[in-house]
Structure 1
Amino acid sequence: MTPRRPSHAAFWGGAALIGWTYAAFPLVILARARVRPRAFASGPVTPTVSIVIAAHNEQAAIGAKVANLLALDYPADRVEILIASDGSTDATVARAAEAAAGDGDRVRVLDLPRTGKAGVLNAAVAQATGDILVFSDANSMFAADALRELVAPFADEEVGGVAGDQRYLPDDGDLDGAASGERGYWDIDRRIKQAESDAGNVISATGAIYAIRRSLFREVPEGVTDDFTTSTGVIDQGRRLVFAPGAMAFEPVGSSASVEYGRKVRVMTRGLNAVLVRRALLDPRRHGFYALQLFSHKVLRRLMAVPLLVVFAATLRLARRSPLYGLAALAQGGVYGLGAAGLALGRHPAGRHRLLALPAYFCLVNLASLQALGNVLRGRTVNRWEPQREEET
């Protein structure tokens, strides 16, 4: 019996972590929103707003981005737009200035040296004058009423930050299985985020669209996910971070597994480093239930590849000794087999079916998390990168 005990402990311990992270924790979040709702005020306020965009070699997207922001349904005299170029070597600065022609009093293009996103964000915010700072990505397009929806919760003084709703543009049929699977993930994540907000705080904001009070901004350190660090800084200072589902920003999903994999490795490497920076938020004595939210979502979920591997290895060892473990081995092998098939089929229509797309995305994310964990353990940071965008034709 002795040789079996470590395998049993590994299987059930790992299964408990997986079950909590993927099933029990989301159910707890949904139940808590119903049992302990915590409302906040929301109203038609129009504070002064500074929209900050950090861009490096975004010539293909920046003109449309500036035009999109200039067309928002919000009092023009209460919005300023800062485009901060991070040492772009293409036509990003020229395209931004061209798009802003005639609106130079509303748009400022900062041609900064290459320092990394954190540095240019800090430099841009230092020049911002609005009471509310709005952050977005160069390739994220706001709905016409997104800014009004985003600032409405600031009618409540307790609210220090607002996370908007990132949505993906309609599928043009050119996505592979893993990219299609990401859509399904975000549909689920959106429901969880709404429940988190209804009961207290969302865990963090997405870089596509979010806002904080300028008085709560703290400089972004190098090597971290800036949207996570900036938005959670609001909670660290005792204010609420809530979700505004009507504040929508649309962007394309990564068109291929290779592009998405590289992005995930970068985001998760920076994200894990950001959690280390914000580790004080993991203290339940100070932050209560939010500490559990943060640990479950941003630590356990990003490290799920480890218990998944442990459980699979333990299952294979135990499979011959019990039908239960045999079925578990078949189930796990089936998921990983479907994921591998989805990744291998790429853009083939069969690979984009949900039966393959979701497992493909699941496998891709967990493989990326292993590399990200390795980066963090080796002390590797990601301060600069080249955007992977579709080039103009």
Structure 2
Amino acid sequence: MIVAAVVFWLCFAVVTYIYFGYPSLLWLISRFKTRPVREGDVTPKATFIIAAFNEQEVIGAKIENALSLDYPAEQVEVLVVSNGCTDRTNDIVREFSARDPRVRLIALERPGKMEAVNEGARNATGEILVFSDADFFLDPHTLRLMARKFADPEVGGVSGARKPGITRKGDATGDGEGLYVRWDKLQKILESRIGSVYAADGLLYAIRKELFVPLTDPSRGDDMTISTHIPLQGYRLVFEPKATAWENGTIHAKQEFRRKVRIANRCTRAMLGHGRRLFTSGFYSLEVLSHKVVRHMIPYFLIPMFFASAVLATRSNFYRVLFAGQLAVYLLALAGAALREKKAGYWRIFSVPYYFCFVNAAAFVGLLQLMRGQGTRAWTARTGESLVR
């Protein structure tokens, strides 16, 4: 029983810290220490780098979106790096390029996203590199808001924010994710006030071109690797919550699950790939561990916590209550999984438990693959899948 109690309380402490303790710590520190960004009305030349593989359904709209932003037209460049596309992606980009010299196409054989990103950075003419997924679209004011941050010489990168999509409301995944996004956004705001966010969201972020470090390992998440290099070079990576991007399309639960498995695997690889530097960088190291590394490990604490409480419940009413609470969460999650296609608001009672288990199950699989030496190397955009090796 002593062993079970130690296991339970150790796991409980870790889970509680990640979901409640760390955000509370950020809030407390931000009450006494803040580093305001010295914004200015600057509009440096910005190059959108769009790594594309078979994006014919969205690439035209993506280019139009980038060119129509509230930003000086002569200060915008759109660079599409195609990876052996077999659909009309290249033709569509060439049509835009013929009409507008700000749009350029770099057509590669399909070497992978890593090479596409590196090639885009090498050929960019902008002072600022803007990375944004092909299926995410920016609100008109977004680029200008991000550019204002670069007036501060200490700022090396700016992360944008995800605008909750309309197409997924009423689905247990989408509703639960909405709450998760708001919770995560609050932490990023607090991290940015203190110094730097732990990393940028891959849907939209911008960095100074001179701070780009070429990618060398395709098994590591490119967004995580690129953005974490900014604080490690002594610059700030800040968050602009009003610089928003939204996804135009419905993502099914199976696609989203595979995406989150890939994120857990590749992002953890990216973090660990920095070696000692990532764990000897003061408070930033605590951010990385708390916001990403240990968070992905949470399912490996939830499982022993559940079984330890089951053992302890045979001897104590107190532990029976704790065990019953966990069991209720998992039963509600199962109900949410069964009813996730329902659109009525009544079913939202299941959305938080469902999404909590959804993301942790994906993290469990992603880290299990990592421990087995498996990675996600082949990139298949828009399908929601990757080839796991």
TM bucket normalised to smaller: over 0.9
Deviation at 1:207, TM superposition (A): 1.2
In structure 2, the CA distance between the partners of 1:378 and 1:254, relative to structure 1 (3 Å rule), is farther
Say whether 1:183 aligns with 2:175: no
Supply the distance in 2 between the matched residues of 1:180 and 1:253 (Cα, whole angstroms): 16
* Corresponding residue of 1:119: 115
- Deviation string 1:217-251 (CA, Å, 9 cap, x unpaired) is 01123111111111110111111101112211111
Q: 2:105 — aligned with what?
A: 109
Q: Distance in 2 between matches of 1:259 and 1:344?
A: 17
Q: Identity percentage over the alignment?
A: 39
Q: Name the aligned partner's letter for residue 64 of structure 1.
A: A
**Distance in 1 separating the partners of 2:85 and 2:346:** 35
* Structure 2 residue matching 1:326: 3-state secondary structure: helix
Aligned AA (1:16): A
Shift of 1:24: 0.5
Does the 8 Å contact 1:165/1:247 carry over to 2?
yes
Partner Cα separation in structure 2 for residue 17 and residue 172 of structure 1: 31
Matches within 5 A, 1:20-99: 20-99=17-96
Alignment of 1:206 onto 2:196: no
Alignment-derived partner of residue 387 in structure 2: none
316, 326, 329: which one aligns with 1:322: 316
> Quick one: structure 1 residues 99 and 352, their matched pair in 2 at CA, closer, same or farther if it must change by over 3 Å?
farther
* Cα deviation digits, residues 161-194 of structure 1 (max 9, x gap): 1111121222465x63123311111011111111
One-letter amino acid of the counterpart of residue 52, structure 1:
I
Q: What amino acid sits opposite 2:59 in the alignment?
A: I
* Deviation readout 1:39-87 (Å, 9 max, x if unpaired): 1201110111111011111111111000101111111112211011122
Q: Which position in structure 2 is the counterpart of 1:386? A: 380
> Equivalent of 1:312, from 306, 310, 316?
306
Give the letter aligned to residue 266 of structure 1.
R
Distance 1:346 1:171 in 2: 14
Give TM-score, length-normalised by structure 2. 0.94
**Worse-superposed segment, 243-252 or 64-73:** 243-252
What do the CA deviations read for 1:244-274 (whole angstroms, capped 9, x no partner)? Answer: 1221111147532211101111111111111
> Displaced runs of 4+ in structure 1, greater than 6 A?
none
SS in 2 for 1:118: helix
Cα offset, 1:360, TM superposition: 1.0
**C-alpha root-mean-square deviation of aligned residues, in Å?**
1.7
Per-residue CA deviation, residues 65-120 of structure 1 (Å, 9 max, x unaligned), is 001011111111122110111222111112223344411x1000111111111110
1:1-393 to 2 correspondences below 5 Å: 4-103=1-100, 105-171=101-167, 176-221=171-216, 222-252=218-248, 255-284=251-280, 287-349=281-343, 353-388=347-382
Distance in 2 between the 1:42 and 1:281 partners? 29
The one-letter amino acid paired with 1:65 is: K
Could you tell me whether the CA contact under 8 Å between 2:47 and 2:79 is conserved in 1? yes
Segments of 5+ residues of structure 1 without an aligned counterpart are none
TM-score (structure 1 length as normaliser) = 0.94
Q: Secondary structure at the match of 1:58?
A: coil
Q: Is this contact kept in 2: 1:176–1:255, CA < 8 A?
A: no
**Could you tell me how far apart the structure 2 residues matched to 1:172 and 1:26 are?**
27
| Residues 167 and 250, structure 2, Cα contact 8 Å, conserved in 1 | no
Report deviation, 1:131. 0.9
Q: Take 1:256 and 1:345, find their aligned partners in 2: how far apart are those partners? A: 14
**Distance in structure 1 (CA, Å) of the matches to 2:171 and 2:36:** 40
Letter in 2 for 1:154: F
Distance of 2:147 and 2:22 partners within structure 1? 29
Compared CA separation, residues 289 and 351, structure 1 to 2 (3 A): same
Structure 2: gaps of 5 or more residues: 385-389
Contact 2:309 2:322 in 1 (8 A): yes
CA contact (8 A) 1:67 1:100 kept: no
Shift of 1:351: 8.4
